[in-house]
Structure 1
Amino acid sequence: MQLPLHTVCRRSFVTVLKCRNSGNANASLFSHSAGLATQTCKALRYWKHGDPSRVLQLEDVDLPPIGAKDVLIQMLAAPINPSDINMIQGTYAILPDLPAVGGNEGVAKVVEVGSLVKSLKTGDWVIPKDAGVGTWRTEAVLAEDDVISLPNDIPLLAAATLGVNPCTALRMLSDFEDLKPGDSVIQNAANSGVGQAVIQIAASRGINTINVVRDRPEFTQLSDRLKAMGATHVITEDALRRPEIKDLFKICTKPKLALNGVGGKSATELLRHLQFGGSMVTYGGMARQPVTVPVSALIFKDVKVRGFWVTQWKKDHANDGRAFRTMLDELCYLIQQGKLTAPACTEVGLQDYSRALDTAMQPFTSAKQVLIM
């Protein structure tokens, strides 16, 4: 009896199994526990760092057998994030051993569990706990401890995009300033995945958001879409620099918290509008320019300049088994209540990955590219 084609490669920073090219994509298939033949998966793999359009290849990759504490998962959907691109380019803070499978985020379904697996069962939805697993593939074998379960009654795209951007948004809104209903937050890159999550989580807490985006021909449509999510105000970066911006703070309190995903002049403008003693938290640098902090902001406004990286947060809380679980439960509850939705997404088949990559690397891209397996 032949079973459906499964892909299994384990690649994590805890356990790395070297996968090799399979010369026969039509090899006979089997139950893993039977151990009678070799199965393969389809995976977007790169053997060297560089331009993703040049170094990524869709390959057949052999799978290892399932260990007693492993799970076989079928990837369902995996987004393309800027950090995924940077990792392939070799410019990210952490890099997997090569060859590596692209993608750090996504949702999968458990299709088989090892004999000693206790926390997961067949049919569960799971996401990776950490970066570096390699999610741009059809299946994988991972250690039980490398994944964490999600309820499978939430929308697929919400689950696929949950592990990075919404977690980043929630932590930044929770960990740096004591925000209460009626308080304000200002952010650039407001149409990014993090930005959209910030808008919705803040709205669920009664917190106002001042959302800064780059000027563009379709600004009105973008503004309307962000306001429909719960954005209080949407303005362009040019508007933020004008004297008229003072009128905004007559109807909206000055922000306690600024969230910077851009850097450069955009970050400096956010700092100018913080309350005394407020915080600016930088989580990205899309402009690839340094953050310049005016001396006056430090001396006369006593602002705090901080950074945040969700991967580091996960490492810092790795020994606290409930921290990540509690955060995911809170986010999933918001999703189930209709208060948190996935960012605008474009679904692309895995075989069309080149088109998805090209789109993801273009400026003014408002829709996240999601590979559907």
Structure 2
Amino acid sequence: MLRRVGLAKRVLTTNRHYSTRFGYAHSRCLVFSDFGQPEKVLKWVASPPLCMNPIEGVYPEKPEFTLELGTGGKSAVPGNEGLVEIVSCGSKVNPSIRPGQWAIMSGPNFGTWRTYAQAREANLIMIPDKEGISPVQAATISVNPSTAYRMLNDFAGLEPGDYFVQNAANSGVGRSAIQIGRLWGLKSINIVRDRPGIQKLKEELRSLGGTEVITEAEAKDRRSMAKMTGGQPVKLALNCVGGESATNLARILGQNGHLVTYGAMSKLPFSVPASALIFKNIHCHGFWISAWSKGNEAVKSQMIIDILGWIRDGKFRDIPYEITKWSEATGLETLMEPVKRGISEYSGRKGIFLMEDD
């Protein structure tokens, strides 16, 4: 599941029109009027555009279709993540919020695949200090690193020296979990699919702080797994794959361990062995950062500050990404290329739209 990120550089707050002190802003966006395959339903609009799942209509949080975008019928703008720069504020906006400041989305379905937008204060989390932080780093902080942070912090009561295990360890969340775990003194067993160049990938994840990096096949060897941990129980398992891979995580967990599912890349259900439930008393949970964010605004803001601090201090490395530049001259075909790649292949890189000043 590769999520495409909209990186907007300009946003209006609390104004009812797309207007700034410089005059009216001409906004260009990608929109869709019905759910379906992104390459079929996305279209280009030049007026007042997560990821693929909301566009396909298979995500629990669905965007609101509206007539306000100037299209013939109701439509919506995709894009959950992003960084915005304030260009104008309404008279009732908190005076601490000023043009030039950066902010990220406080929740899903903001619609970041556009060059301009208007928002309320509640839609945004302000970046208190952008010194030493790149726009890409700020834009990609609210989902992958935040998901990893919460799962390591909120389940199993992990302490320095404890083990956790995860599949899809080379994903954005996986790479974040490795690094946050290292910063908190945790040990990690990181499972990846076998592939050409697997040794290079293993070395890369170890360089991030992964204690052990193994393939799905290697993870099935119980004796080898016990030897890796020195017999120390694994307290937490992070599942993004589902299917047989998730079932294997349940088997790896120790007594009273916690299995947390936050994704289903294989799109396959999984079973938990009865022995793991009865004799090891493992606990199964689901986690979704969008649902967690509601009602945890203050905690989320502090978490963002923590992660930004690690980035600023050079303790947290960027996840791999690829940029598609978006300017006034950019056509629909150019913007659709990364969308199509996100559907047809798994590149291991996060896609980012970078809006450029015209």
- 1:209 and 1:127 map into 2 onto residues whose CA distance is 30
2:173 match: 194
Letter in 1 for 2:53: N
Kindly indicate whether residue 255 of structure 2 is the aligned counterpart of residue 276 of structure 1: yes
Letter in 1 for 2:303: M
User: What SS does the aligned partner of 1:169 have?
Assistant: helix
1:367 match: 349
Does the 8 Å CA contact 2:324/2:352 hold for their aligned counterparts?
A: yes
User: What SS does the aligned partner of 1:162 have?
Assistant: coil
Letter in 1 for 2:83: V
Pick the aligned partner of 1:225 from 201, 204, 210: 204
Does the 8 Å CA contact 1:8/1:41 hold for their aligned counterparts?
A: no
1:135 match: 112
1:336 match: 312
Does the 8 Å CA contact 1:8/1:40 hold for their aligned counterparts?
A: no
- 2:208 and 2:302 map into 1 onto residues whose CA distance is 24
Letter in 1 for 2:33: W
Q: Deviations over 1:80-132 (max 9, x none)?
A: xxx42010000000101221111100111111111121141111110010000
Shift in Å at residue 355 of structure 1? 1.4
2:302 match: 326
- 2:12 and 2:85 map into 1 onto residues whose CA distance is 15
Does the 8 Å CA contact 1:161/1:342 hold for their aligned counterparts?
A: no
Shift in Å at residue 359 of structure 1? 2.0
- 2:83 and 2:134 map into 1 onto residues whose CA distance is 11
1:262 match: 241
- 1:123 and 1:9 map into 2 onto residues whose CA distance is 11
Does the 8 Å CA contact 1:187/1:260 hold for their aligned counterparts?
A: yes
Aligned length: 328
Does the 8 Å CA contact 1:158/1:341 hold for their aligned counterparts?
A: no
1:44 match: 30
1:67 match: none
Letter in 2 for 1:40: H
Shift in Å at residue 252 of structure 1? 7.1
Kindly indicate whether residue 145 of structure 2 is the aligned counterpart of residue 159 of structure 1: no
2:339 match: 357
Letter in 2 for 1:344: P
User: What SS does the aligned partner of 2:117 have?
Assistant: strand
Does the 8 Å CA contact 2:12/2:89 hold for their aligned counterparts?
A: no
1:72 match: none
Structure-to-structure mapping, 1:169-318, within 5 angstroms: 169-246=148-225, 248-251=227-230, 253-317=232-296
Q: Deviations over 1:27-53 (max 9, x none)?
A: xxx963587xx5421111111111111
1:149 match: 126
User: What SS does the aligned partner of 1:135 have?
Assistant: coil
Q: Deviations over 1:194-252 (max 9, x none)?
A: 11110110000110111111111121221122111111111111111234533543547
Shift in Å at residue 364 of structure 1? 3.7
Letter in 2 for 1:276: Q
Measured on the aligned residues, the alpha-carbon RMSD in Å equals: 2.3
Letter in 2 for 1:365: S
- 1:357 and 1:252 map into 2 onto residues whose CA distance is 45
Shift in Å at residue 315 of structure 1? 1.3
1:106 match: 82
User: What SS does the aligned partner of 2:51 have?
Assistant: helix
List gaps (5 residues or longer) in structure 2. Answer: 1-8, 66-74
User: What SS does the aligned partner of 2:20 have?
Assistant: coil
Change (3 A) 1:369 1:340: same
- 2:99 and 2:162 map into 1 onto residues whose CA distance is 44
Change (3 A) 1:41 1:250: closer
2:100 match: 123
Does the 8 Å CA contact 2:235/2:254 hold for their aligned counterparts?
A: yes
1:96 match: 63
- 1:215 and 1:329 map into 2 onto residues whose CA distance is 36
Does the 8 Å CA contact 1:8/1:39 hold for their aligned counterparts?
A: no
- 1:84 and 1:145 map into 2 onto residues whose CA distance is 22
Letter in 1 for 2:249: L
Change (3 A) 1:8 1:329: closer
Percent of aligned pairs with the same residue? Answer: 37
Change (3 A) 1:356 1:112: same
- 1:189 and 1:34 map into 2 onto residues whose CA distance is 47
Change (3 A) 1:171 1:222: same
User: What SS does the aligned partner of 2:141 have?
Assistant: coil
Give TM-score, length-normalised by structure 1.
0.82
- 1:289 and 1:127 map into 2 onto residues whose CA distance is 33
User: What SS does the aligned partner of 1:334 have?
Assistant: helix
- 1:281 and 1:204 map into 2 onto residues whose CA distance is 21
Give TM-score, length-normalised by structure 2.
0.86
